[in-house]
Copies of this chain bind each other. A is one copy, B any other.
Amino acid sequence: MQEAVLAKNDAMAAANRAFFENGEIAAFNFVSAPGAGKTALLVALIGALADRVPVRVIEGDQETARDAERIRSTGVPAYQINTGTGCHLDAEMLEAAIHELVPPRRSLLFIENVGNLVCPALFDLGERAKIVVMSVTEGEDKPLKYPHMFRAARALILTKIDLLPHLEFDVEACVANARRINPQLRVFPVSARTGAGVAPLADLLGSQLRVQG
């Protein structure tokens, strides 16, 4: 059963990927535990990017439209998917959202998945890359305990680094754990609250409209 679900998803994801490539749209799938700060991060990235390139956002949550509203308050169009009891976005949901949102040619599309460090690892949406977001409040061992997600991701964004002085969190140990799982993982420490680390990450994401990843 799971194999059939994933095979159907992969076919739809391939169609989404072709749509993005034709439109030169760079789509990134942000995945994390609930409360890691994905929406705050996206708002910060939009602040650094939206004057330079068109940005669109697709939000996934079990319920509420709060995250899409937070994004729209920046002036960037956003579409909210509600999954009900569902634990992840799939390629079919994304395809329907694309039809509503209509991201323009040569735009950045940020997809914020349902907060879940497990199930979204299995579902390709057709994105250029999964980006795993992890707050420094979560503990250094998360890459080892949730390895599928850290293996599926191209980059790790460590959020809430402004809280480091108040935590016993060892950044180097966390990065070492993540690279044990995925030696190629690129790591970006940021604070959406202070803005630390946001500019270089925004530059890198913006540059994806020129360079294929």
Contacts and interface: CB of A to CB of B under 8 A. Distances in A.
A104 interface: no
A64 B163 contact: no
A159 to B, nearest CB: 10
Interface residues of A, number: 37
Interface of A is mostly: loop
B145 A61 contact: yes
A22 interface: no
A134 B138 CA distance: 11
A64 B144 contact: yes
Contacts of A62: 118, 145-148
A26 to B, nearest CB: 27
Lowest 4 CB-CB distances: which A-B pairs, in order? A35-B138, A87-B118, A33-B34, A137-B137
